[in-house]
């Protein structure tokens, strides 16, 4: 197990990198941003992953010639690739989850609502005036950085319950709200950008997310957090239902349900830990295993279920 100082250093480094990538994906860089990034010598940040090292090196080398119209070149490339001015066969490299997990590239799809609820349960919200969705990669990175900060606070206070919940939430959020769509986004974006700087960013960020999944796995093991029950679906719901509620069963709006309409959809049954089928006829197929975890409600694409 890590010492307190080692734990704090790991979390500080995680937070630093998440905030760096969050800033780079949020908006075009100002000249001050470019100068600060060049001074940071990001190419000196080494890891066990060659892709991360290469991506950081590419960005650093690109900024060596930052006085030759670099800000304008990067600004145009960011706007074209990440703000939807450039596409590939009608697909846009928009850096938010809804654009890649929904059938169409909705600006505020189902993922945005889930992420919003998670932020809310952590007493976090976007600043007034921000017109980007909560599931934008920049805000997800800032959220992960905030969780890293809070992990240090929880460990310093010897609040092991809060620490374990923090680590499990970090692990689940990274897996189900970043790694689930970033590879597809990155591959598309790499084909749309012109500047080597952004290709380096896409490579380094993807490698970092994969590395952090391993770091969190080890932290969860070290702090014995894996022994604690954790259900991300309950965090994604606006109002979680107590699991000890008796006689519960998912309520089905038959006018909305895709299966009732004759279409194919098995998200609710696939996600249920008790294999409950909300569409089944309860008179002929009695099912009493529902624990009101809310997982089916969270994944239903048509909001046909409630508890």
For the ranges 85-94, 183-192, 208-217, 268-277, which has the lowest average pLDDT?
A: 268-277
> Do 144 and 219 belong together in one domain?
yes
Number of domains in the chain: 2
Integer CA distances (angstroms), 135 to 140, 183, 232, 234, 282, in order: 6, 16, 16, 17, 37
> What average pLDDT does the segment 36-61 reach?
95
Last residue of a domain, one of 184, 202, 234: 234
> Do 200 and 248 belong together in one domain?
no
The enclosing domain of 276 has a CATH number of: 3.30.70.20
Enter the tokens of residue 104: 């169409």
> Do 248 and 215 belong together in one domain?
no
Question: How many CA atoms lie within 13 Å of 162's alpha carbon, on the beta-carbon side?
Answer: 14
> Do 59 and 167 belong together in one domain?
yes
Last residue of a domain, one of 211, 234, 257: 234
Question: What is the model's pLDDT at position 286?
Answer: 44
Question: What is the model's pLDDT at position 178?
Answer: 99
Would the pLDDT of 132 be above 80? Answer: yes
Burial zone of 71 (CB within 10 Å; 0-12 exposed, 13-18 middle, 19+ buried): middle
Query: Each residue of 216-227: pLDDT tens digit?
Result: 999 999 998 876
> What average pLDDT does the segment 7-32 reach?
97
> Do 66 and 135 belong together in one domain?
yes
> Do 172 and 144 belong together in one domain?
yes
Integer Cα distance of 238 and 231 in angstroms = 14
Q: Domain limits at 285?
A: 241-307
> What average pLDDT does the segment 114-125 reach?
93
> What average pLDDT does the segment 7-24 reach?
98
């Amino acid at each position: 197990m890590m010492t307190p100082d080692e734990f704090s250093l790991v979390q500080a480094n995680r937070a630093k990198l998440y905030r760096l990538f969050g800033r780079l994906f949020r908006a075009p860089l100002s000249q001050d941003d470019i100068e600060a990034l060049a001074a940071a010598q990001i190419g000196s940040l080494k890891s066990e992953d060659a892709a991360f090292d290469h991506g950081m090196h590419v960005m650093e080398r690109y900024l060596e010639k930052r006085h030759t119209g670099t800000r304008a070149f990067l600004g145009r490339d960011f706007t074209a690739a990440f703000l939807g001015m450039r596409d590939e066969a009608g697909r846009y490299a928009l850096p938010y989850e809804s654009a890649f997990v929904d059938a169409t590239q909705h600006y505020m799809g189902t993922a945005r609502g889930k992420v919003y609820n998670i932020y809310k349960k952590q007493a976090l919200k976007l600043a007034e005036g921000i017109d980007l969705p909560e599931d934008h990669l920049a805000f997800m990175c800032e959220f992960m950085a905030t969780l890293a900060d809070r992990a240090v606070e929880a460990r310093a206070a010897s609040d092991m319950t809060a620490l374990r919940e923090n680590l499990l939430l970090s692990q689940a959020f990274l897996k189900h709200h970043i790694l689930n769509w970033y590879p597809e986004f990155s591959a598309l974006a790499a084909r749309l950008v012109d500047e080597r700087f952004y290709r380096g960013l896409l490579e380094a960020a993807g490698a970092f997310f994969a590395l952090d999944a391993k770091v969190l796995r080890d932290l969860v093991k070290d702090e014995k957090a894996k022994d604690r029950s954790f259900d991300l679906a309950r965090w994604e719901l606006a109002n979680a239902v107590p699991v000890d509620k008796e006689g519960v069963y998912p309520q089905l709006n038959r006018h909305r349900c895709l299966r009732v309409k004759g279409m194919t959809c098995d998200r609710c049954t696939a996600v249920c830990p008790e294999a409950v089928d909300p569409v089944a006829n309860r008179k002929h197929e009695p099912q009493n295993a529902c624990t009101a975890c809310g997982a089916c409600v969270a994944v239903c694409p048509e909001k046909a279920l409630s508890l």
